[in-house]
Amino acid sequence: MMRRILILGFAVLLTAFPAAGQTVVLDLDRTVSLATGASIPAQKYQSLYDASHFAYLSWEASRKPQFLLESTPVTYQRYMTQRYLSEKDVDVYRQQQYFYAQAGISATQIFEPLGGLFYASTQVGWLRTFGDGAQSQFMTVPFSVGYRQDLLFFNPLKWDKKIEPLRLTQAEKELSYAIETTGEKAVEKFFTLALAQDQYLMAEEYLASCDTIYAIAERRYRIASISKAELGILDLQRVNATATFSNARIARQRAIEELAVYLGLEKGVEIELVIPSVPSGLTVNLAEAIAYARENNPNFIESQLALEEARRDAEEARVKKNLSLSLDVSLGLNQIANRFSAAYTHPLMQDLALVSLSVPLFDWGKRRQTWESAVSRVDAAERAVEENARDTELEVQLCVEEFNERQALLETAQHALDIAEDVYTQTLQRFIKGQADVYNLSMAQSYWQTARQNRMASLQNYWLSYYEVRRLTLYDYQRRQPIRYVK
């Protein structure tokens, strides 16, 4: 019955309004597919995920050896400098002029187990001075290797190894969640158009029915079967039906344009809807839904990420609240000479052993308070994890319970529609035979129209509930698979 009504209604639409462009046939699956794939919001969310994905790849690359060429190809300087002449025991100003060029290659590699850094380099430089004592010199560092380490052993690399993958996972889930929100909004617009088209069809049918009934009433009035007041009521209904039809036409056109724009369809396109049926036996198990939500819902991952970051900050504050201690050791060769080849001959050792110590003598409790503040943030993050879990689980529970009840409500709405349609048909036949008055006919017609709207609204609520469950759990219960939009 509903399919026949929609087909008839669409045929009326095409007759009344010539298509400005092509006709697009949309069922619910295709509508959601267009919204989650080609719509502007979906593309925006994909771009946001790409930014997070490239940030993760950058972090992955930072864990590998890094090679860098550093060079100062040209340095020229002329300036006045103060000099002491011992033979005259005076200070004089002399002009100094030199040219300098330098280049070097360095390599670094992080050491994740301890959070330290290995480094190595090779350098060469050339210095040319001008004036009375003009000369040229080459300076070389054939190789130099070293290691830098925080001796208090706070290891940020260990924390990054936990946090960065979690951050990427959060970005993936947020992408799926946001795109599912886009699909859910498309479902809402789909049924907004379905309701508008059904109301337009009802208005068209009601107007035709009012014309027919008024024509019958005129004949009965001429034989004094009904009163003039009853005839006037029917005439008023016909006038009101004309206004209702015009309003329904405007509302339908607005709904078409809003859905077309949201899906990225061409302007002026006509849309024909295929109203979805209800899958038989589709129910959602509450325990499964909560488990999927815990695994997939970005709220859980976001709170867990915040907790790990708070724990990292607390450990760093604890380690550094009393002192800071670091070690830097290196070993290498260097040499200077007037000729380039000689600068690599008989190189000399260069060594470095540096221990840095920083002990706060009196800082008014600054470092300790920083640590206590970090500990408090850990406590707050742990409470936030519990709160997010509680709120999200409750939201999933209410949504699942609502969805599982929607099918029974939809069956009730369909049964009410069947009864209302049968009552209206019988009342119309009785009115034509003169066995029913105007009031009974109007009431039967009103009940029928209300039942049609309620049935469509029930179908809309059913599918909106289903897509809300999908969004909260990021799981497709029809195909029995997780929802992922990562390319």
Q: Give the model's pLDDT for residue 16.
A: 34
Contact 221, 228 (CB under 8 A): yes
Q: How far apart are CA 172 and CA 329, in angstroms?
A: 42
Residue 369 located in a structural domain: no
Q: Which backbone phi and psi does 42 adopt, to 5 degrees? A: -65, -40
Q: Which backbone phi and psi does 108 adopt, to 5 degrees? A: -135, 150
Q: How far apart are CA 469 and CA 396, in angstroms?
A: 7
- From residue 68, alpha-carbon distances to 107, 239, 268, 377 in Å are 6, 83, 57, 39
pLDDT tens, residue order, the chain (487 aa): 333 333 333 333 333 333 445 888 999 999 999 988 878 888 889 999 999 999 999 999 999 999 999 999 999 998 888 888 888 888 888 888 889 999 999 999 999 999 899 999 999 999 998 876 788 999 999 999 999 998 887 899 999 999 999 999 999 999 999 999 999 999 999 999 999 998 888 888 878 877 777 777 776 666 666 666 777 777 777 777 888 889 989 999 999 999 998 988 888 888 889 998 888 778 899 999 999 999 999 999 999 999 999 999 999 888 888 888 899 999 999 989 988 888 888 888 888 888 888 888 887 888 888 888 989 999 999 999 999 999 999 999 999 999 999 888 988 998 998 998 888 888 878 877 777 776 787 788 788 888 888 898 899 999 999 999 999 999 999 989 999 988 7
Exposure string over 148-162, b if 16+ CB within 10 A, otherwise e? bbbeeebbebbbbee
Q: Give the model's pLDDT for residue 221.
A: 63
Residue 302 located in a structural domain: yes
* CA nearest neighbour of 296 among 102, 465, 486: 486
Residue 170 located in a structural domain: yes
Q: What is the DSSP string of 311-335?
A: HHHHHHHHHHSS-EEEEEEEEEEEE
Q: Give the model's pLDDT for residue 7.
A: 34
**Whether residue 44 sits in one domain with residue 11:** yes
* Residue ranges making up the domain that contains 456: 2-55+161-306+382-482
**Whether residue 264 sits in one domain with residue 335:** no
Q: How far apart are CA 221 and CA 104, in angstroms?
A: 108
Residue 366 located in a structural domain: no
Q: What's at 141, amino acid-wise?
A: V
CB atoms inside a 10 Å sphere around CB 166: 16
**Whether residue 72 sits in one domain with residue 30:** no
- Partner residues linked to 107 by β-bridges: 67, 120
**Whether residue 223 sits in one domain with residue 197:** yes
Exposure string over 42-69, b if 16+ CB within 10 A, otherwise e? beebbeebeebbeebeebeeeeeeeeee
Q: How far apart are CA 472 and CA 467, in angstroms?
A: 9
- Partner residues linked to 123 by β-bridges: 104, 141
**Whether residue 45 sits in one domain with residue 75:** no
* Per-residue tokens: 124: 């060469």
Q: What is the DSSP string of 59-91?
A: HHHHTS-EEEEEEEEEEEEEEEEEEEETTTTEE
Residue 298 located in a structural domain: yes
Q: Give the model's pLDDT for residue 469.
A: 95
- Give the total number of structural domains in the chain: 2
Contact 66, 105 (CB under 8 A): no
Alpha helices in 433-473 (DSSP H): 438-473
- Kindly state the helix (H) or strand (E) to which residue 354 belongs, with its residue range: strand 348-358
**Whether residue 294 sits in one domain with residue 189:** yes
**Whether residue 6 sits in one domain with residue 71:** no
3-class state of residue 268 by DSSP:
coil
Q: What is the CATH number of the domain that holds 229?
A: 1.20.1600.10
Q: How far apart are CA 303 and CA 156, in angstroms?
A: 20
Question: Tokens 């002491």 label which residue?
Answer: 84
Most distant CA atoms of the chain, gap in Å: 145
**Whether residue 285 sits in one domain with residue 220:** yes
**Whether residue 293 sits in one domain with residue 409:** yes
Q: Which residues, including other chains, have CB under 8 Å from residue 180's CB and lie 6 or more apart?
A: 36, 467, 470, 471, 474, 483
Q: What's at 297, amino acid-wise?
A: N
- From residue 227, alpha-carbon distances to 177, 209, 239, 314, 349 in Å are 63, 20, 19, 88, 122
**Whether residue 288 sits in one domain with residue 347:** no
Q: Give the model's pLDDT for residue 421.
A: 86
Residue 226 DSSP class? S
Q: Which backbone phi and psi does 218 adopt, to 5 degrees? A: -60, -40
Rg (alpha carbons) of the chain, rounded to whole number: 40
Q: How many CA atoms lie within 13 A of 418 on its CB side?
A: 6
Q: Which residues, including other chains, have CB under 8 Å from residue 285's CB and lie 6 or more apart?
A: none
Residue 374 located in a structural domain: no
**Whether residue 141 sits in one domain with residue 233:** no
Report the length, in residues, of the chain: 487
**Whether residue 340 sits in one domain with residue 241:** no
Residue 371 located in a structural domain: no
Q: Give the model's pLDDT for residue 224.
A: 63
Q: What is the pTM of this model?
A: 0.79
Q: How far apart are CA 292 and CA 303, in angstroms?
A: 16
Q: Give the model's pLDDT for residue 17.
A: 35
Residue 275 located in a structural domain: yes
CB atoms inside a 10 Å sphere around CB 308: 16
Q: What is the DSSP string of 258-288?
A: HHHHHHTPPTT-EEEE------TT----HHH
